[in-house]
Amino acid sequence: MRATSVLPPDVPHLDSSRRRLTRTPGPCRGKYMKSPQLPEMATPEVQLNETLAHLKTESEALKSKLEEERAKLHDVELHQVAEKVEGLGQFVMKTRRTLKGHGNKVLCMDWCKDKRRIVSSSQDGKVIVWDAFTTNKEHAVTMPCTWVMACAYAPSGCAVACGGLDNKCSVYPLSLDKNENLAAKKKSVAMHTNYLSACSFTNSDMQILTSSGDGTCALWDVESGQLLQSFHGHAADVLCLDLAPSETGNTFVSGGCDKKANVWDMRSGQCIQSFETHESDINSVRYYPSGDAFASGSDDATCRLYDLRADREVAIYSKESIIFGVSSVDFSLSGRLLFGGYNDYTINVWDVLKGTRVSILFGHENRVSTLRVSPDGTAFCTGSWDHTLRIWA
C-alpha cells in the first residue's frame, strides 16, 4: 500500500531525498520548487570580481595606449643615427692592481670622491677601506652579520655606509687614526623589513637613499635616523638604485625582481617613469653622465639603454654567445663606453652608440658581482666572488 501525505496540499514539508523545501501538488504548485536564491550574500563578492575585472581591462587598455604613444616617438634607431660616427678601435685594458683581503665573495664596492680610496663589502661580514694606489687596507670593520650586500662612500670621504642581511644601513665615520675602533662610532640610520640591497648618499653626507628586499626604497636623515620619504611601486625585491648625476638632481632610478626600472621623484615619493622590457631581474642601473638616460643590466643576459626624454628603450647590448646574467653596469666618463660585469667571470665593454662589443676582459676566477668607474674616469674597479677586487686601466 502506497504511503500518502497526511499534510494538506498547500503545507510545505522536507523531501528527504532532495533535502529541500517542496510542496505537494496543489493550486499554488511550483512556488517552492526552486532552491531559494541568496542575492544579498552573493552580491558583494560578485561586485568585487566585476570591479577587479573591469580595472584589469582598463589597466591593459591604458598600457597599450601608452605603448602606442611611445611608438609614435620612435622615429629612428640609435645605431642608425650613429652610423656616421667613427667606430672605436680596439683598445687594451689590463688589471693594474689586485686587492686581496676578503675571506669570501665580494658583493659591493664604491669609490671615494678623492679618486684613490675604495670601500668594499663582502659575504665574510667585513667592510674594508683600501688605498687603490698602494693596495693597502686603511680601515676594516666587522659587521654583526654576513652578506654585507651594500656599501657606499660619503661625498666628503669622511664616512662609509653599509648593510645587508641585518636589514639596516649603518654609517661609520672614518678618522685619520687607523687603529681607532670604528665599530664604537657606528650609527644605525635606516631600518627595513628585509635585507638591504643598495645604499647611496645624496649630494651631502646628511641624507642616504636605500633599497631593500622588502620592495621599497627610502630616503633617510643620517643624523636623526628619521625616514624622510619612502618609495612604493615595485612588486618584488628592489635590487639596485642610482642617483641622477646633477647637483640639483632630485630623481633616482631603481631596478628589481619585478623586471621593472622605475624613475622616482625624491621630493614627492612618486614614480614618474617606469620601464618594463627586461625578461628577468634587473641587477644594476646606472645613469648616463648627462642624466638624460640610464643603462640597466639583467639576469636575461642583456644590458639596455633607456632614454628618459623619449620615454623608451633605445638600445639593447647583447650577443647570442652571451648567456650569463649581468650583475653590474657603469658608463665611462664620456658616456661612449658601457662596462658590464657578467656571471661568466668576464667584463664586456660596449660601444654605447653603435651597440657593438669593443672588448672583453678576463681575469676574475668567479662571477663579477660589482663594477664602478673611478670619479676621474681613468680606471674602473671590479669585485668578484673569487674574494678579490681588481683595478683595470
The pLDDT assigned to 54 comes to 92
Following DSSP, what letter does each residue of 6-19 receive, concatenated?
-S-TTSEEEETTTT
Compute the distance between CA of residue 68 and CA of residue 258 in angstroms, rounded to an integer.
23
Q: Structure pTM? A: 0.83
Side chain identity, residue 154? A
Architecture label for domain 78-392: 7 Propeller (2.130)
Classify 386 in phi/psi space as left (phi over 0), alpha (psi -120 to 50) or beta: alpha
For 15-48, how does the pLDDT look when each residue is reduced to its tens digit (9 = 90+)?
A: 444 444 444 444 444 444 444 454 455 577 788 8
Question: Per-block average pLDDT, block size 10, for the chain (393 residues)?
Answer: 48 45 45 46 76 91 84 79 86 95 98 97 97 96 94 97 97 82 86 98 96 98 97 98 87 98 97 97 98 97 96 96 98 98 98 96 98 98 98 97
Compute the distance between CA of residue 312 and CA of residue 71 in angstroms, rounded to an integer.
9
The grid coordinates of residue 249 equal 638632481
336 burial level (CB within 10 Å; 0-12, 13-18, 19+): middle
Percent of the chain residues topping a pLDDT of 90: 74
The pLDDT assigned to 151 comes to 98
Compute the distance between CA of residue 246 and CA of residue 287 in angstroms, rounded to an integer.
10
Number of alpha helices (DSSP H) and beta strands (DSSP E) in the chain: 2, 30
Question: Where do the H-state alpha helices sit in 224-351?
Answer: none
The residues facing 201 across adjacent strands are: 208
3-state helix, strand, coil in the chain (%, to 5): 10, 40, 45
Compute the distance between CA of residue 202 and CA of residue 191 in angstroms, rounded to an integer.
18
Q: What is the mean pLDDT of the chain?
A: 89
For 220-269, how does the pLDDT look when each residue is reduced to its tens digit (9 = 90+)?
A: 999 999 999 999 999 999 999 999 998 767 999 999 999 999 999 999 99
With contact defined as beta carbons under 8 Å apart, do 273 and 262 qualify? yes
With contact defined as beta carbons under 8 Å apart, do 88 and 350 qualify? no
